[in-house]
Amino acid sequence: MEAKKIRSTFIEFFQSKQHQFVPSSPIVVKNDPTLMFTNAGMNQFKDYFLGNEIAKATRVANSQKCLRVSGKHNDLEEVGVDTYHHTMFEMLGNWSFGDYFKKEAIEWAWELLTDVYKLPKDRLYVSVFGGDTSDGLDKDIEAFDLWKNIVPEDRIIFGSKKDNFWEMGDTGPCGPCSEIHVDLRSDEERASESGFDLVNNDHPQVIEIWNLVFMQFNRLSDGSLKELPAKHVDTGMGFERLVRAIQEKSSNYDTDIFIPFIQILEQKSGKTYGESEKIDIAMRVIVDHIRAIAFTIADGQLPSNNKAGYVIRRILRRAVRYGYTFLGFQKPFMFDLMPLLAENFGEIFPEVAAQQDFIAKVIQEEEASFLRTLDNGLKILDQIQVEMASKSEKVIDGKTAFELYDTFGFPLDLTSLIARENGLSIDEKGFAEEMAKQKNRSRAAAEQETGDWIMVSDEEGVEFIGYDHLEASSKIVKYRQI
């Protein structure tokens, strides 16, 4: 079954169960200070669960554009290195807002996977919440009993709070969840070792595909749990992983979602996918990242030096450097993937095709601007590494990392990635200090230059909470006349 058909089958299946199809919300979140990008299907329904708004329909299904590159869910380091975590991915979901609960959610999930998509039952495992003493929560026996009617007991795993209990935040709706995992190993491997112990163990061929969350409690500010008057279901299934399972591939990148993009890279670079680990990772990173970049731009966020814009710029530069170093691309190459991307997503996410030329132009310009300094920056970094090796040093100092950022446009995580490839690390705190110093310098300069006007800024320097969160924020609040 082709990917497009797999997606439409999901939607039609839930429509046949009286669900209303709801379009994806934008990937860029504009009105929620706690979230930069949409990272799950439930984001757009948050107010229903919190009771701030009444749901327009009690049963809903959709395919949500998600991005997991910042905050609570940050999969960036995995992307391309493994073959099932993406930056941008589609999350297929069905919801019940105070309507059906565990029984229907479980039975329909199983019906869809095994009757409709025909996934072999002996490759599937399910997990249920195994209880937690700190919260005085029991095992989710209700879910266990429901599963027991469908699958043999030795395919049901009791999971920890970490994997099988979902919470929106410190307070608010929460509840146990049940996940479905698929074992995509060869018959021989499966015969020699049961997949049971491999579930939730980062095995590259035994992967989670669907999470069924049962919102049952409200966590109050004193930490206690109260049963919700109306119970809800929130499910999320990774579309690319589902396609891989149905198409029986050992990697998401071997499905018809990604192969055509990899083929373009092969033609343009003269290199072959499968040739070497480095080439493979580079190709996977690029065909993954182009989606994150294109969708974000389509939803109105241009690459920039601030917040969400800087996250996108970092992702783009990361991809450009992989292409430059491992595939030999010295000129912009990513923008050339846009026509195929626009075509592939034409039906489900028409916003990409509608702005195709504009998006391609933005990407091409970003690529060109970074490529102008990339080569020099990499040479300097090489020199530094040689010098460090001669002194047996392992940590690149903050000043050097900052110079690479400031002069050559190397985001900190890119320098860090290259350092890691060479067995080195970076003094991130030192980097943040250099950044703060520069901001003070430019503030002082701005005060002098503006004459009768000085800028009043609410910026409190750069708060360092790990390089993922490091944002070169320079929000100017107001001007004050003196």
Binding site for ligand ATP (CB under 6 A): 40, 68, 75, 85-86, 89, 91, 208-211, 236-238, 240-241
- Which tokens hold the place of 290? 């182009």
| Cα–Cα dist 377/50, whole Å | 49
In terms of CB distance, is 80 or 332 closer to ligand ATP?
A: 80
- DSSP, residue by residue, 25-47: PPSB-SS-TT-SB--SGGGGGHH
Q: Exposed (0-12), middle (13-18) or buried (19+): which is 427, by Cβ within 10 Å?
A: middle
As measured in angstroms, the least distance from the Cβ of 91 to ligand ATP is 5
Residue 39 near residue 73 (C-beta atoms within 8 A): yes
As measured in angstroms, the least distance from the Cβ of 16 to Mg ion is 26
In terms of CB distance, is 209 or 327 closer to ligand ATP?
A: 209
243 is in the binding site of which of ligand ATP, Mg ion, none (Cβ under 5 to 8 A by kind)? none
As measured in angstroms, the least distance from the Cβ of 264 to ligand ATP is 22
In terms of CB distance, is 236 or 303 closer to Mg ion?
A: 236
For ligand ATP, the nearest residue by Cβ is 238
89 is in the binding site of which of Mg ion, ligand ATP, none (Cβ under 5 to 8 A by kind)? ligand ATP
By CB under 5 A, the residues from 171 to 210 that bind Mg ion are: 208
As measured in angstroms, the least distance from the Cβ of 206 to ligand ATP is 11
Helix crossing, 428-449 with 412-421: angle to 10°?
150
- Which tokens hold the place of 84? 């099932």
Q: Residue 211: what are its φ and ψ, rounded to 5°? A: -120, 120
In terms of CB distance, is 91 or 337 closer to ligand ATP?
A: 91
87, 211, 235, 344: which one contacts Mg ion (CB under 5 A)? 211
| Cα–Cα dist 321/273, whole Å | 18
Residue 182 near residue 84 (C-beta atoms within 8 A): no
In terms of CB distance, is 180 or 396 closer to Mg ion?
A: 180
As measured in angstroms, the least distance from the Cβ of 449 to ligand ATP is 45
In terms of CB distance, is 24 or 211 closer to ligand ATP?
A: 211
Q: Pairing relation of β-strands 59-67 and 20-21?
A: parallel
As measured in angstroms, the least distance from the Cβ of 372 to ligand ATP is 32
For Mg ion, the nearest residue by Cβ is 211
As measured in angstroms, the least distance from the Cβ of 177 to ligand ATP is 7
210 is in the binding site of which of Mg ion, ligand ATP, none (Cβ under 5 to 8 A by kind)? ligand ATP
237 is in the binding site of which of ligand ATP, Mg ion, none (Cβ under 5 to 8 A by kind)? ligand ATP
Residues with Cβ within 8 Å of residue 23, at least 6 apart in sequence: 62
In terms of CB distance, is 209 or 435 closer to ligand ATP?
A: 209
Q: Exposed (0-12), middle (13-18) or buried (19+): which is 17, by Cβ within 10 Å?
A: middle
| Cα–Cα dist 295/299, whole Å | 6
Instruction: List 219's β-bridge partners, or say none.
Output: 172, 225
As measured in angstroms, the least distance from the Cβ of 156 to ligand ATP is 17
- Which tokens hold the place of 212? 């069924």
| Cα–Cα dist 324/278, whole Å | 12
| Interacting residue ranges for Mg ion, rule: CB under 5 A | 208, 211
